[in-house]
Amino acid sequence: MDKISNSIDKYQSEELKEISLATNLIDYKKVIYFIISFILISILISNVIKYPEKIIGKAFIVSKNQTNNIYAPTSGEIELLIKDNTFVKKGALLALIKSTTDYSDLMKLKNQLRKIDSNNIEKSIAVEFDKTLKLGEIQKIYYNFLLAVIECENTLKIDLAKQKISNIQNKLYRNTEREKILQRAKKVFSDKSDIINNSYETDLALFDAQAIVRDRIDNSKITLLDMKEKSLLMDKNDQDLVHNTGELSDEISLLKKDREKLVASALFNVKKAFYELKTAIDYWEYNFTITAPISGTLEYYQPFLNSTQYIKKESQLFIILPKVENVYARGVMSANGYGKMRNKDTVYIKLRDFPSKEYGDLKGIIYNKSKVYHDTIYYINIKLDPNLKTTHNKKINFSYNMQGTVEYHGKKRSLLQRIFSNIQNSIEK
């Protein structure tokens, strides 16, 4: 009986195994069909779904006129001259770093120096300089300039060579008069010499004819020799007079040259001291004055900056915000995908301070691309709506240093294309 029961159980278990195996095969087939269907549907969907490729970079909204940061030129106690949030013009004095030099005295001296024409020192030097100015470290250079001016004025006023030249010119005049007299005397002497020479020739002929005695011919010969001796003496006097006149003329030339050198040296010393003083003033202004390099609204960089505060060299003091003109965006892009971007392509800018969902994006057009690779980045210039209206038709008020992200939407690609493209790129790498 037990054997029959065991055989029945064994038969039943084998039938159950066959039934369960058939059921499992059907389940496996369903799973495989499901997986294949899912894959096919996914491929189909990924091939149908397409969206544009995005190239993302940083964006900065800027104006044609950039902000200008102003730093302390030297360390020291500051004296503020302009209040915060004040419009200033280019060149306006903003602050002073205290020193031993009185700024008002320095400006007074600077105005006086403007009256001097460096190209015509001699005619423009007659300026009444204030000797009581408090110029601190510039004082010594200022005194050197004053000494050069005084020396030059004395040189121009006191002309010692002028009197010497006048005396020599009087001598030259007398020599000229003597020369005239000598020339007249030589003319008379020449006529007299001709007469004596003719008389001698007559006496010589008479003596040969034994018409006169020998004493007579000897006297004629002596007279002729005396005339020749006097002629030589007159020629010598004439040469001495010419030589003396030449020496006097040379002496005048030397005196004039010495005078010119003296005046030129005095003028040069003034010009040298003048430029040294101007350089010292410029150097002082560079180190102790703070001026506006551009026009715009001044803002204190340090919120609690005040006069008498000690500041360190090169610490930032002010920011000048210029007039807003020609607002545009400056994009900073990586090399990845940069070549796909073209001039006149449209980009979208999401501003960091204005949530995109609430305000929308700024729409812009690329109008300039950098052709040079700048330290792993490229730059693009983006033209914007002058009113800075977003895609949600909301106006954005411009503020300096506005930042965000720029998005370039390329051609639409399906998910399937992107997957295969990524696989291909991975294989190539």
Note whether residue 53 is domain-resident.
no
Contact 112, 129 (CB under 8 A): yes
For residues 214 and 104, membership in a common domain is answered with: yes
Note whether residue 61 is domain-resident.
no
In this structure, which amino acid lies at residue 244? Answer: N
Note whether residue 141 is domain-resident.
yes
- Torsions phi, psi for 368 (to 5 deg): -160, 135
pLDDT of 183 reads 82
Q: Using CA atoms, how far apart are residues 331 and 403, in angstroms rounded to an integer? A: 10
For residues 131 and 205, membership in a common domain is answered with: yes
Q: Using CA atoms, how far apart are residues 113 and 115, in angstroms rounded to an integer? A: 5
Note whether residue 57 is domain-resident.
no
For residues 79 and 105, membership in a common domain is answered with: no
CA distances, 33 to each of 25, 40, 42 (Å): 12, 10, 14
Q: Using CA atoms, how far apart are residues 207 and 204, in angstroms rounded to an integer? A: 5
Range of the domain at 20: 2-48
Q: Closest Cα partner for 348 from 57, 63, 62, 64?
A: 57
pLDDT of 89 reads 94
Q: Using CA atoms, how far apart are residues 251 and 244, in angstroms rounded to an integer? A: 10
DSSP class of residue 301 equals S
Note whether residue 73 is domain-resident.
yes
pLDDT of 21 reads 53
Q: Looking up tokens 């969206």, which residue turns up?
A: 51
Q: Using CA atoms, how far apart are residues 239 and 38, in angstroms rounded to an integer? A: 135
Query: For residue 25, what is the enclosing H or E element?
Result: helix 2-48
pLDDT of 95 reads 95
For residues 176 and 248, membership in a common domain is answered with: yes
pLDDT of 426 reads 58
For residues 317 and 379, membership in a common domain is answered with: no
Tokens representing residue 147 in the block: 């000494």
For residues 380 and 308, membership in a common domain is answered with: no
User: Do you know the residue count of the chain?
Assistant: 429
CA distances, 270 to each of 128, 147, 266, 280 (Å): 15, 9, 6, 15
> What ranges in 70-138 are assigned the alpha helix state H?
103-113, 121-124
Mapped onto helix, strand or coil, the DSSP state of residue 82 is coil
Contact 129, 146 (CB under 8 A): yes
For residues 80 and 103, membership in a common domain is answered with: no
For residues 233 and 275, membership in a common domain is answered with: yes
For residues 201 and 270, membership in a common domain is answered with: yes
pLDDT of 4 reads 46
User: Using alpha carbons only, what angle is made at residue 67 by residues 93 and 404, rounded to the nearest 5 degrees?
Assistant: 160
For residues 24 and 104, membership in a common domain is answered with: no
Mapped onto helix, strand or coil, the DSSP state of residue 149 is helix
Note whether residue 357 is domain-resident.
yes
CATH number of the domain that residue 128 is part of: 1.10.287
Q: Which residues of the chain have pLDDT under 70?
A: 1-30, 40, 42-52, 374, 411-429
Q: Looking up tokens 């915000």, which residue turns up?
A: 321
pLDDT of 428 reads 53
Domain closes at, from 230, 264, 285: 285
CATH number of the domain that residue 389 is part of: 2.40.30.170
For residues 34 and 107, membership in a common domain is answered with: no
For residues 148 and 246, membership in a common domain is answered with: yes
Contact 382, 59 (CB under 8 A): yes
Burial of 166 from C-beta contacts in 10 A (0-12 / 13-18 / 19+) = exposed
pLDDT of 18 reads 54
Note whether residue 55 is domain-resident.
no
DSSP class of residue 339 equals G
Note whether residue 56 is domain-resident.
no
Tokens representing residue 131 in the block: 């000797």
Burial of 349 from C-beta contacts in 10 A (0-12 / 13-18 / 19+) = buried
Domain count, the chain: 4
